Structure 1
């Protein structure tokens, strides 16, 4: 593969609509999105070449323990940032993601509406919570 290949985002999700939204949101920023719905597929993608530049984890994914996966990514690939997301009312999931080591945690709606800004913040090394009301940095 050439050195000018588009950087890869690994999306761990089983919601087809969210996968489509992330692909469309990442395209203008020049990212390629790989969507996986199992732990084995996520681990294979992480160990592949080129490696993803970031991992996005839907906290409601059904066939993966998202919190165990976040811990695995942070322990095994500490340089790869993790963005975790769930519905804005699912505060318990947000908190568990933070405790598991996710760099940024936000709501599904923020991912759908502000993905380029979220990716900029994530890849700059920012951490914490992002709310829907929070203005996206330019």
Structure 2
């Protein structure tokens, strides 16, 4: 199957973040597929997305296994959540997420974060 270069799977509950992620990805020549479950992410891994983004306030039980499956497929995972939720951020690091950032960092640094993964995707294919 052909790789979906510059495709981002995003499990994001916050409408403002989902719109912003979509705008930034589009500006970088990519697009976002919004997902809302572990199963949906796993189903879409066969398109070889460039990145999976997880909102740590949206994920449901079993999300760590989803991270592991994404990583096994070679898909990087970026997780974000409130800076005060140290436990969730630590769990994301332990689950194997490539990057774990606070909401504020995502908001400020989103263009650079996405560019890193989408540019790498372009170079890989």
Structure 1 unaligned segments of length 5 or more: list them.
Answer: 126-138
What's the CA shift string for 1:3-49, capped at 9, x where partnerless?
Answer: 9x76101112233222112112222211101110012211121123x
Counterpart of 2:107?
Answer: 112
Gaps of 5+ in 2: 121-125
CA–CA distance in 1 between the matches of 2:86 and 2:68?
Answer: 19
Task: Report SS of the residue matched to 2:17.
Answer: helix
- Number of residue-to-residue matches in the alignment: 119
1:42 counterpart = 2:35: no
Choose between structure 1 and 2: higher helix proportion. 2
- The question of whether the paired residues in 2 share the 8 Å contact of 1:59 and 1:84 is answered with yes
Aligned partner of 2:83 in structure 1 is: 88
Give the equivalent residue in structure 2 for 1:14: 13
Q: In 1, distance between residues paired with 2:49 and 2:5?
A: 10
Does the CA contact (< 8 Å) of 2:80 and 2:106 recur in 1?
yes
How far apart, in 2, do the equivalents of 1:45 and 1:110 lie? Answer: 27
Give per-residue Cα distances to partners, 1:77-96, cap 9 Å, x unaligned.
1x211111101111111111
TM-score, normalization: structure 2?
0.80
Q: Secondary structure at the match of 2:53?
A: strand
- RMSD between aligned residues: 2.5
TM-score by length of 1: 0.73
Structure 1: distance between partners of 2:61 and 2:40: 10
